Structure 1
Amino acid sequence: MTRTTPARPVSVDAVFPELAVHRGLTTRLHPRPGQPGMYDSHVGGPMLWPDSEPWPVCHEPHQRETEGYKPDEIRRARAAGGRPPKKPWPDPGAPGENGPVPFVGLAQLFRRDIPGLAAGPDDADLVQLFRCPFTHGPHGDRRYRLRWRRTAETECAERFLAVPPEVPLLRWENELPEPCVLHPEEVDTYPWAEGDTLPAPLIARIDAWDDAQVAEHGHGAPSYQGDLSIPPGWRVGGFPSWASTGPMAIACESCATPMRLLLTAGGDEMDAASHSWVPLEDRDPSLRGMASVRGGQCLAQPTRLRFGRDRDLHVFTCPANPRHPPRWVLS
């Protein structure tokens, strides 16, 4: 099923015509629980991974854990609509400290499926995203990894990995992605309005408009950040959201080139402040506003993943040289 973002509550062109020169495109991925295959773009599904190639592992020291959840019990509990039981760590103090930890495959995206997906090194057209399931250091930092591939070469492998390695326990349920199929859709997007992301007079006009909407319509009034600028959830390209940190200048650590946003991974596809972005196919046409939204957790939190304290994970790459290391920013 396709997913169609509704028209914005107000016309951006009519209210802020000067934003036209700042308009961009982002591809909303619209993940929904399903059964993707290794040849599909997906979140949480099987990776197109040659059997002869080692699965990525994290060799760094990890935080000590005392309890967690078995991956298979998480899957069974989700299927039954319940919660998995916690288990004591089988070897307290040792997860990852005395050996490598396999990364968890979060997503893979083919450029043939995703409009606007930037090319990787050597014109790679498939990108795979991984996260270490454990935290690092006193601040609970995370480790991510990208694997770029050229699809035509990868598909020529004789055999593919059927079951990737897993750790016996995960610290949190939201470390395990729910397999989701994607419904890519290109939509207009506009920069976050704060700091120097837009001209100062325009940001002042946007702030004044937001205040006027609240004064006229009260709670739930449309706002620029919530309804007009950047859609929530998983998306490719476009502009980063800066709700938690405020705008940041992201430069390549190898060559100082300003980096571009490759991908945003979000834990939530909607909340009360962003419900206007919920696709038409996920609404009851006889109702209006938040009351029209249907789908429950499968819509609001389809991937079951979390990034930081309910933040967005922005993945930036270097446009000057895709071989330069990516940067990971939680905001």
Structure 2
Amino acid sequence: MTRTTPERPVSVGAVLPELAPYRGRTTRLHPRPGRPGMRDSHVGGPMLWPYGDPWPVCSESHRPETEGCAPDDIRNARAAGTRPESRPWPDTGMSREGGPAPFVGLAQFFRRDIPRLAPGPDDADLVQLFRCPFTHTSHLERRYHLRWRRAAETERAERFLVSPPEAPLLRRENEIPQPCVLHPEEVDTYPWAEGDTLPAPLIDLIDAWDDAQAAEHGPGAPSYQYDLSIPPGWQVGGFPSWASTGPMLVGCAACATPMRLLLTAEGTEMDGGSHSWVPIEDRDPSLRGPASIRGGSSVSRPTGLRFGRDRDLHVFICPADPGHPPQWLLS
């Protein structure tokens, strides 16, 4: 089934025509629980991983843990609609402090499914995203890993890895993604309106429009950031949101080139203010507003993941050389 973003509550061109030069495009991925295969773009499905290729491992020191959930217990509990039991941490060397610890595969995207996906090194057209299941330093930082591949070359491998290595226990159940199929859809998007993301006079116009909407329609009025700017959820390309951090200049550590947003990952596909973006196919046409949304957590939190305290994970790459180290920002 396709997913179709509803028309915006108001036309951006009609109410803020000055934004026209800043319009961009993003591909909303619309993950929904399903059974993706290793040759599909997905969140949480099996990676297209040739047998014999070393699985990515985090060798940094990790925060000590005393208990956790076994990966299979998490999967079985999800299938049963229950919560997994917590177990004492085994004495395995990987468990309490230090490493190595195998990364968890979060997602993979093929350009054949998502044409807006930026090319990787040597025009790689498959990108795979991983996260260390443990935290680092006293600030509970996370480590991510990006793997680029040429899809056609990779698919010619004779054998593929079926059961990747896993840590014996995980801190929480939201360390493992729920397997999700994708429903890519391109939509218009506009920059976050704060700081120097747009000219100051234009931000003033946006703020004045927001104030007028609130005065006329009350708390449920349309607003630029929630309803017109950047859609919630997993997406490729487009503009970053800066709700938690405020706008930041992201420069390549290798060459100082301003970096490009490759993708955004989120634990939620909507929040209290962004429900207008929920697709038509996930709504009851006889109802309006948030009451019309159907599907429960399979629509609002389909992947089962969490990034920070329900923040956005932005993955940036260098447009001058995609082989330069990526940058990861929670905002």
Question: Normalising TM by the smaller chain, what interval?
Answer: over 0.9
User: Normalization by structure 1: what TM-score?
Assistant: 0.98
Which amino acid counterpart does residue 167 of structure 1 have in structure 2? A
What is the CA–CA distance in structure 2 between the aligned matches of 1:288 and 1:92, rounded to whole Å?
53
Q: Tell me which residue corresponds to 2:146.
A: 146
**Does structure 1 retain, via aligned residues, the 8 Å contact 2:68–2:86?**
yes
Which amino acid counterpart does residue 283 of structure 2 have in structure 1? R
User: After superposition, where does 1:227-266 map in structure 2 within 5 Å?
Assistant: 227-266=227-266
What is the CA–CA distance in structure 1 between the aligned matches of 2:203 and 2:196, rounded to whole Å?
9
User: After superposition, where does 1:1-331 map in structure 2 within 5 Å?
Assistant: 1-91=1-91, 95=95, 97-331=97-331
Which amino acid counterpart does residue 135 of structure 2 have in structure 1? T
Which amino acid counterpart does residue 146 of structure 1 have in structure 2? L
* Cα 1:283–1:252 shift into 2, 3 Å: same
Following TM superposition, by how much is the alpha carbon of 1:91 offset from its aligned partner in structure 2, in angstroms?
2.4
What is the CA–CA distance in structure 1 between the aligned matches of 2:315 and 2:203, rounded to whole Å?
26
**Does structure 1 retain, via aligned residues, the 8 Å contact 2:65–2:96?**
no
Following TM superposition, by how much is the alpha carbon of 1:273 offset from its aligned partner in structure 2, in angstroms?
0.3
- Per-residue Cα deviation, 1:292-328 (whole angstroms, up to 9, x for no partner): 1111000000001001111000000000001100000
Following TM superposition, by how much is the alpha carbon of 1:94 offset from its aligned partner in structure 2, in angstroms?
5.4
Following TM superposition, by how much is the alpha carbon of 1:98 offset from its aligned partner in structure 2, in angstroms?
5.0
Which amino acid counterpart does residue 102 of structure 1 have in structure 2? P
Determine helix, strand or coil for the equivalent of 2:198.
Answer: coil
Q: CA RMSD in A?
A: 1.1
Please identify, of 187-196 and 89-98, the stretch whose mean Cα deviation from structure 2 is larger.
Answer: 89-98
**Does structure 2 retain, via aligned residues, the 8 Å contact 1:65–1:92?**
no
- Per-residue Cα deviation, 1:172-212 (whole angstroms, up to 9, x for no partner): 11101000000000000000000000010110111111111
**Does structure 2 retain, via aligned residues, the 8 Å contact 1:266–1:307?**
yes
Determine helix, strand or coil for the equivalent of 2:329.
Answer: strand
**Does structure 2 retain, via aligned residues, the 8 Å contact 1:35–1:179?**
yes
**Does structure 2 retain, via aligned residues, the 8 Å contact 1:66–1:88?**
yes
Structure 2 unaligned spans of 5+ = none
**Does structure 1 retain, via aligned residues, the 8 Å contact 2:113–2:184?**
yes
Please identify, of 85-94 and 269-278, the stretch whose mean Cα deviation from structure 2 is larger.
Answer: 85-94
Which amino acid counterpart does residue 169 of structure 1 have in structure 2? L
Following TM superposition, by how much is the alpha carbon of 1:99 offset from its aligned partner in structure 2, in angstroms?
3.6
Determine helix, strand or coil for the equivalent of 1:210.
Answer: helix
Determine helix, strand or coil for the equivalent of 2:146.
Answer: strand
Please identify, of 206-215 and 126-135, the stretch whose mean Cα deviation from structure 2 is larger.
Answer: 206-215
Following TM superposition, by how much is the alpha carbon of 1:90 offset from its aligned partner in structure 2, in angstroms?
1.4
**Does structure 2 retain, via aligned residues, the 8 Å contact 1:64–1:94?**
no
What is the CA–CA distance in structure 2 between the aligned matches of 1:79 and 1:207, rounded to whole Å?
46
What is the CA–CA distance in structure 1 between the aligned matches of 2:272 and 2:284, rounded to whole Å?
17
- Per-residue Cα deviation, 1:207-238 (whole angstroms, up to 9, x for no partner): 11111111111111110000000000000000
- Per-residue Cα deviation, 1:100-156 (whole angstroms, up to 9, x for no partner): 100000000000001310000000000000000000111011110000000111011
Determine helix, strand or coil for the equivalent of 2:187.
Answer: strand
What is the CA–CA distance in structure 1 between the aligned matches of 2:121 and 2:130, rounded to whole Å?
18
- Corresponding residue pairs, total: 331
**Does structure 2 retain, via aligned residues, the 8 Å contact 1:29–1:234?**
yes
Structure 1 unaligned spans of 5+ = none
